[in-house]
């Protein structure tokens, strides 16, 4: 799997970076590892940096729906926020927006950004 999870203790934000277009199972594994890091560090902010993913998504529409819907069953702490950053011309853009819409409709505070600085600003604001 081409991802890494790092805890930025200074900002209180967990960062998940991915470099390849992951399968549904890889998305789930990366999310699991990132949420484990959030719980361990006490962070309620997660930044998912997908700017390095330059290939077309390998997820079907059903996979995108299932992944977005599965956020509903995760135990997020109060005040949790999830920011996803994509390259402006990302071939996975439509899939990530769909996942985000499905997740938001189930109560997960998540937003997609083109600019990593905007994502950091949004994560830094009080909920």
Per-residue pLDDT tens digits for 60-96: 899 989 989 998 888 888 889 999 998 888 777 888 8
Which residues lie closer than 8 Å to 95 by C-beta, 6 or more apart?
57, 59, 64
Question: Residues of the chain with pLDDT > 90: what percent?
Answer: 54
Q: What is the mean pLDDT of residues 20-31?
A: 83
Domains and CATH numbers, the chain: 3-124 (3.30.750.24)
What letter does residue 114 receive in the DSSP assignment?
S
Backbone angles phi, psi at 85, to 5 degrees: -115, 125
Q: What is the mean pLDDT of residues 2-25?
A: 88
Q: How far is CA 108 from CA 68, 74, 91, 96, in A?
A: 9, 9, 24, 14
pLDDT of residue 4: 95
**pTM of the predicted structure, to 2 decimals:** 0.88
In this structure, the chain runs to a length of 127
Express each pLDDT in 86-126 by its tens digit: 888 877 788 888 999 999 999 899 999 999 999 999 998 65
pLDDT of residue 22: 74
């Amino acid at each position: 799997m081409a991802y890494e999870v790092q805890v930025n203790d200074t900002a209180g934000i967990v960062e998940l970076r991915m470099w390849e277009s992951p399968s549904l199972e890889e998305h789930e594994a990366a999310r699991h590892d990132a949420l484990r890091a959030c719980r361990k560090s006490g962070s309620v902010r997660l930044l998912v940096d997908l700017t390095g993913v330059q290939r077309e998504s390998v997820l079907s529409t059903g996979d995108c729906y299932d992944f977005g819907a599965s956020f509903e069953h995760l135990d997020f702490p109060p005040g949790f926020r999830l920011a996803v950053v994509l390259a402006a011309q990302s071939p996975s853009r439509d899939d990530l927006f769909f996942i985000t819409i499905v997740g938001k409709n189930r109560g997960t505070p998540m937003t997609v950004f083109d600019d990593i600085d905007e994502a950091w600003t949004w994560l830094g604001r009080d909920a």
